[in-house]
């Protein structure tokens, strides 16, 4: 397919998908900082991704915005662009491009398991499938998030004198974990670090049930004892968190599968809750698209490229710089 290249530049329309550097025309899959950057002249994205970009970078973070609803085809010269939910965070989209009878899908980040804080992933059959591979190794088999939430609730009931402090990315993970706690019946107020406030407000305004949230203030440390405090991972070990009463450090991330990493980060209770597809989701999704050409980006490309080869598909790694889930704050 010569009309889209390894930099995810679509030549017939002069647009890039999730460009790292400022460009004239950008199509943005979702609001995470390694995909959505400020400074583009024109941005095409889902309405929620546009709102999230404005919340994070300011109203004027692009020259102009064009919102495109899911499932609504947009024709630009001889390319038709349609956004389909990627199941990753609120508003996250896979980009379907149709040109001269060929179909290409660029997933951005995605997961296929149900997550009530975002629109469910939609499978699209295509000729070229550009997939992420953040957790592209067979060792990554994410447990059910509900199992991880019950571990957390059990720990709270066993150690009621401690303050459970959970490290979560501000966009997506925070709201998903809060939502999962509510689904599990946890109805006490949840305390949130100031860095999570705006995005939690936005999710709530979009109808995601987060229940009662309170700003985590150190002067309220007695009120937070025995409860749940959420903060960005960067705040877990700073002065602020050390002033909480007997904090028990938790972190919610797909990376918690790697025990050494949890240990190195001082995480006492690792919660394997991922917003990315695990190995089985990646391979079964690739199969289900029916695509013969697979481009793999964003993480551990080699194993997935190899797997594609042995299952008879043409696969190539893309080495796009600057993509890293751990950059998320
Ligand atoms: Zn992402
Ligand atoms: Zn990403």
* pLDDT score for 116: 96
pLDDT per position as a tens digit, 153-204:
999 999 999 999 999 999 999 999 999 999 999 999 999 999 999 999 999 9
Expressed in angstroms and rounded, the spacing between residue 95 Cα and the centre of ligand 2 is 14
E-strand spans in 245-326? 247-252, 269-271, 293-299, 314-317
Expressed in angstroms and rounded, the spacing between residue 30 Cα and the centre of ligand 1 is 7
pLDDT per position as a tens digit, 110-119:
999 999 999 9
3-state secondary structure of 303: helix
Question: Residue 244 and residue 239: Cα distance in Å, rounded?
Answer: 9
At residue 233 the predicted structure's pLDDT band, cuts being 50, 70 and 90, is: very high
The two domains 9-139+276-318 and 145-271 share their CATH topology (first three levels equal): no
Second CATH level (architecture) for the domain 145-271: 3-Layer(aba) Sandwich (3.40)
pLDDT per position as a tens digit, 73-84:
999 999 999 999
Note whether 71 and 85 are within 8 A (CB).
Answer: no
Expressed in angstroms and rounded, the spacing between residue 304 Cα and the centre of ligand 2 is 17
Expressed in angstroms and rounded, the spacing between residue 194 Cα and the centre of ligand 1 is 21
Supply the DSSP string of 161-224, one letter for each residue: TSEEEEE--TTTHHHHHHHHHHHTT--S-EEE-GGGHHHHHHHHHTT-----EEE--GGGHHHH
What ligand has the least distance to the C-alpha of 90?
1
Expressed in angstroms and rounded, the spacing between residue 109 Cα and the centre of ligand 2 is 5
The answer to whether residue 327 scores a pLDDT higher than 60 is no
Expressed in angstroms and rounded, the spacing between residue 188 Cα and the centre of ligand 2 is 32
Question: Residue 49 and residue 14: Cα distance in Å, rounded?
Answer: 21
Supply the DSSP string of 86-107, one letter for each residue: -SSSTT-EEEEEEETTEEEEE-
The answer to whether residue 323 scores a pLDDT higher than 70 is no
- C-beta atoms surrounding 73 within 10 Å: 11
Expressed in angstroms and rounded, the spacing between residue 132 Cα and the centre of ligand 2 is 8
Expressed in angstroms and rounded, the spacing between residue 106 Cα and the centre of ligand 2 is 12
Question: Residue 94 and residue 118: Cα distance in Å, rounded?
Answer: 13
Expressed in angstroms and rounded, the spacing between residue 109 Cα and the centre of ligand 1 is 5
- Burial call 75-85: b when 16+ CB within 10 Å, e when fewer: ebeebebbbbb
Q: Where does residue 244 rank: exposed (0-12), middle (13-18), buried (19+ CB within 10 A)?
A: buried
Instruction: Identify which of 21, 25, 72 has the alpha carbon closest to the alpha carbon of residue 46.
Output: 72
What ligand has the least distance to the C-alpha of 275?
1
* pLDDT score for 329: 37
* pLDDT score for 299: 79
Q: Which single residue is written with the structure tokens 């089985």?
A: 280
What ligand has the least distance to the C-alpha of 135?
2
Instruction: Identify which of 70, 63, 19 has the alpha carbon closest to the alpha carbon of residue 49.
Output: 70
Expressed in angstroms and rounded, the spacing between residue 34 Cα and the centre of ligand 2 is 6
Question: Residue 163 and residue 145: Cα distance in Å, rounded?
Answer: 21
210: Cβ contacts below 8 Å, ≥ 6 apart:
175, 178, 179, 182, 190, 200, 203, 204
The answer to whether residue 321 scores a pLDDT higher than 70 is no
* pLDDT score for 322: 66
Expressed in angstroms and rounded, the spacing between residue 322 Cα and the centre of ligand 2 is 9
Expressed in angstroms and rounded, the spacing between residue 155 Cα and the centre of ligand 1 is 29
% the chain with pLDDT above 90: 92
Expressed in angstroms and rounded, the spacing between residue 88 Cα and the centre of ligand 1 is 7
What ligand has the least distance to the C-alpha of 299?
2
At residue 325 the predicted structure's pLDDT band, cuts being 50, 70 and 90, is: low
Expressed in angstroms and rounded, the spacing between residue 30 Cα and the centre of ligand 2 is 9
The answer to whether residue 223 scores a pLDDT higher than 80 is yes
Expressed in angstroms and rounded, the spacing between residue 157 Cα and the centre of ligand 2 is 35
At residue 238 the predicted structure's pLDDT band, cuts being 50, 70 and 90, is: confident
Please give the torsion angle defined by the CA atoms of residues 289, 295, 299 and 303, in that order, rounded to the nearest 10 degrees: 80
Provide mean pLDDT across the span 248-252: 97
Domain map (residue ranges) of the chain: 9-139+276-318, 145-271
| Superfamily the domain 9-139+276-318 falls into | Ribonuclease Z/Hydroxyacylglutathione hydrolase-like (3.60.15.10)
Note whether 281 and 113 are within 8 A (CB).
Answer: yes
Expressed in angstroms and rounded, the spacing between residue 69 Cα and the centre of ligand 2 is 21
């Amino acid at each position: 397919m010569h009309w889209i290249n390894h930099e995810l530049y679509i030549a017939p329309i002069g647009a890039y998908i999730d460009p790292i550097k400022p460009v004239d025309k950008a199509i943005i899959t979702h609001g995470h900082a390694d995909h959505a950057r400020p400074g583009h002249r024109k941005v095409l994205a889902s309405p929620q991704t546009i709102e999230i970009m404005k919340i994070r970078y300011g109203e004027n973070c692009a020259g102009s915005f064009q919102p495109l609803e899911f499932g609504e085809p947009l024709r630009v010269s001889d390319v038709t662009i349609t956004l389909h939910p990627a199941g990753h965070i609120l508003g996250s989209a896979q980009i379907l491009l149709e040109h001269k009878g060929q179909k290409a899908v660029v997933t951005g980040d995605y997961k296929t398991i149900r997550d009530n804080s975002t629109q469910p992933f939609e499978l699209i059959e295509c000729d070229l499938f550009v997939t992420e591979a953040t957790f592209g190794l067979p060792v990554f088999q994410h447990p059910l998030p509900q199992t991880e939430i019950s571990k957390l609730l059990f720990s709270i009931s066993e150690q009621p004198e401690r303050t459970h402090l959970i490290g979560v990315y501000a966009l997506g993970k925070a709201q998903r974990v809060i939502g999962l706690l509510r689904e599990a019946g946890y109805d006490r107020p949840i305390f949130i670090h100031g860095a999570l406030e705006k995005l939690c407000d936005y999710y709530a305004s979009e109808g995601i049930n987060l229940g009662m949230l309170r700003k985590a203030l150190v002067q309220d440390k007695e009120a937070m004892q025995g409860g749940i405090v959420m903060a960005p991972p960067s705040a877990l070990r700073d002065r602020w968190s050390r002033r909480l009463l007997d904090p028990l450090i938790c972190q919610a991330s797909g990376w918690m599968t790697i025990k050494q990493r949890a240990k190195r980060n001082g995480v006492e209770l690792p919660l394997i809750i991922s917003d990315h597809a695990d190995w089985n989701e990646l391979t079964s999704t690739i199969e289900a698209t029916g695509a013969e050409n697979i481009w793999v980006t964003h993480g551990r490309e080699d194993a997935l490229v190899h797997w594609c080869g042995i299952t008879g598909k043409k696969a190539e790694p893309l080495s796009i710089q600057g993509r890293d889930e751990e950059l998320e704050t």
